[in-house]
Chain A
Amino acid sequence: MKLAVCIYEGPYNHEASDSAYHFIKAVIDKGHEIRGIFFYHDGVYNVTKLMEPPQDDRHIANRWSELGATGIDIVVCIAAAKRRGIVDDVLVDNVRISGLGQLTMMAIEADRMVTFGD
């Protein structure tokens, strides 16, 4: 099964990002393919390197970056990002900014699109 995952909420503020992460880890463990991960709405805040959570807390942006390093396509919506001051310079490694066309292709090509949000 080929899956795409959409995340609509910012990190820490809402559980969506954590739920999505745990879900994706389980998808990978089961040997399914991740077609892509798409950040929309306030979800674009998930992958800025400006975040600096306390040492004993999870580092959400780094967690996504590590997933990206395994070859998973992680896309931040350009329109949603620009609106919120998120640009290439502030992104962690292994994620990219692109348009809603990417989300469209994920919705078409993935067997399932799973959305996490508020």
Chain B
Amino acid sequence: MSEDIKKIMFTVRKAPHGTIYVYEGLEVKLIMAAYDADISVVFMDDGVLALKQGQNTDELGIKGFEKTYGVFVDYEIENVFVDRQSMEDRGMTADDLLVIGEDEETEAPIKPKVVDSKEIAAMMAEQHNIMAF
């Protein structure tokens, strides 16, 4: 039997730091990236707030994860999307988004791709499984 690569989507819909969901959800993504699966991550609703650059959790005494998001591309997590409406609803623009890696050749920073809800809905329909993380 041929092993076809399964498409797995993660949806991040919660704000960072107020609860542990985004942090522990990140651990799942990093593990799953090591397996043979076609992974995508979609940030929507309050999840887009986890992508704001310049997060500093020092005074909270917690680890934070902006640096870890910064190496997504190194982990081969390249299909990272942001829901445009969720971002605009929260007064964010693409400039506010943190960097998820850099282009191997040009070293240009790579940012999550801003897409419309219709595109996300279409991607959802193609997945093998979708995990709310």
Q: Is A108 an interface position by the 8 A CB rule?
A: yes
Q: Is B123 an interface position by the 8 A CB rule?
A: no
Check A100 against B32 for contact (C-beta < 8 Å): yes
Residues in chain A within 8 A of chain B (CB atoms): 6, 8, 40-41, 79-80, 99-101, 103-105, 107-108, 110, 112-113, 115, 117
CB distance from A8 to the nearest CB of B (A): 8
Docked CA distance A99–B21 (Å): 17
Docked CA distance A104–B6 (Å): 11
**A106 and chain B: residue at smallest CB distance:** B129
Check B24 against A107 for contact (C-beta < 8 Å): no
| Complex interface: chain A residues within 8 A of B132 (CB) | 115, 117
Report if A104-B32 is in contact (Cβ < 8 Å); known contacts: A40-B24, A79-B27: yes
Residues in chain B within 8 A of chain A (CB atoms): 6, 8, 20-21, 24, 27-28, 31-32, 35-37, 128-132
Partner of B27, one of A6, A100, A110, A115: A100
**A114 and chain B: residue at smallest CB distance:** B129
Partner of B28, one of A103, A108, A110: A103
| Complex interface: chain B residues within 8 A of A117 (CB) | 132
Q: Can you list 9 A-B pairs with a CB-CB distance of less than 8 A?
A: A6-B131, A8-B21, A41-B20, A104-B32, A108-B8, A108-B35, A108-B36, A108-B37, A113-B129
CB distance from B100 to the nearest CB of A (A): 20
Check A107 against B20 for contact (C-beta < 8 Å): no
